């Protein structure tokens, strides 16, 4: 992988990590379009640069992470099912699912349909407007939703926001909880993968990884604020339409 390709993938990651469109799916499809072979390093790269985007959340919510114990309780509870699934299915995820553009196309389209239906039937009245009031059982349920995002194309953000809406959170708070839950999720996923695979990286590959990491961090800083502002006034249906469009377009040009 060349440096400019790493920078471009970092921008793609930063743009899509917190939107319900699947950052991993976009990275896989972009890599295929650029002709980047899905080696073990590239698979690890696609996991690790997500941490750059996640650290943007730590930067923006730093004070809250230090002081808000009630929110942390819910984040920890929600992380449990995802951590268990990721640990148990690591070999399947990295060996077969990551890099599989057919899986991505299918889940992009299916997830788009689900997002449109969920947004259509979402009722904005009498919803939870404070994450600290979310029952722990519902926080766990959101974590179960997030665990489906081990499948590329599902979208961790889309799954957790959908779970948050079903649990009773407002759109804005569902997105915010998704952002916060991403921190332990991606920290653990990246650390586990680097422990497993980092020893096999060549010297130059660490520099390439660093470029993707930095560009994803900078891009995500901008996207988080813009996305929250958007959700205050609009729904999620447009992201569902986008997912379906990208899935069909990619399939038409690269699968058939």
Q: What is the 3-state secondary structure (H, E, C) of 47-114?
A: HHCHHHHHHHHHHHCHHHHHHCHHHHHHHHHHHHHHHHHHHHCHHHHHHHHCCCHHHHHHHHHHHHHH
* pLDDT of residue 245 exceeding 90: yes
CB hemisphere CA count around 47 (13 angstroms)? 30
pLDDT tier at 249 (50, 70, 90 boundaries)?
very high
At residue 10 the predicted structure's pLDDT band, cuts being 50, 70 and 90, is very high
pLDDT digits (tens, 9 = 90+) for 107-130: 999 999 998 988 887 765 567 888
What pTM was computed for the model?
0.84
Would you say how long the chain is, in residues? 256
Q: What is the pLDDT of residues 83-105, one digit of tens each?
A: 888 777 767 776 666 767 888 89
For position 126, what pLDDT does the model report? 60
Question: Furthest-apart CA pair in the chain: how many Å?
Answer: 55
DSSP 232: T
* Residue 58 CB contacts under 8 Å (≥ 6 apart), including other chains: 65, 183
Cα angle 137, 139, 140; round to 5: 65
Q: How sure is the predictor about 140, in pLDDT bands with cuts at 50, 70 and 90?
A: very high
């Amino acid at each position: 992988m060349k440096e400019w390709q790493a920078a471009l993938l970092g921008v793609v990651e930063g743009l899509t990590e917190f939107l319900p469109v699947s950052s991993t799916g976009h990275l896989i499809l972009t890599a295929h379009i650029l002709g980047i072979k899905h080696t073990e390093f590239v698979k690890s790269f696609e996991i690790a640069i997500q941490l750059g985007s996640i650290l943007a959340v730590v930067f923006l919510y730093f004070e809250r992470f230090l002081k808000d114990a009630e929110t942390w309780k819910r984040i920890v509870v929600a992380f449990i099912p995802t951590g268990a699934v990721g640990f148990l299915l690591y070999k399947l995820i990295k060996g077969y699912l990551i890099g599989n553009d057919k899986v991505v196309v299918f889940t992009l389209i299916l997830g788009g349909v689900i997002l449109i239906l969920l947004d259509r039937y979402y009722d904005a009245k009498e919803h939870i407007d404070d994450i600290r009031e979310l029952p722990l059982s519902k926080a766990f349920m959101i974590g179960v939703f997030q665990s489906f995002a081990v499948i590329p194309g599902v979208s961790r953000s889309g799954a957790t926001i959908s779970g948050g809406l079903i649990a009773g959170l407002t759109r804005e708070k569902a997105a915010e909880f998704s952002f916060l839950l991403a921190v332990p999720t991606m920290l653990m996923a990246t650390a586990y993968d680097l422990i497993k695979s980092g020893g096999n990286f060549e010297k130059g590959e660490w520099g390439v990884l660093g470029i993707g990491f930095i560009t994803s961090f900078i891009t995500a800083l901008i996207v988080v604020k813009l996305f929250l502002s958007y959700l205050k006034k609009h729904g999620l249906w447009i992201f569902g339409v986008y997912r379906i469009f990208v899935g069909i377009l990619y399939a038409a040009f690269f699968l058939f």
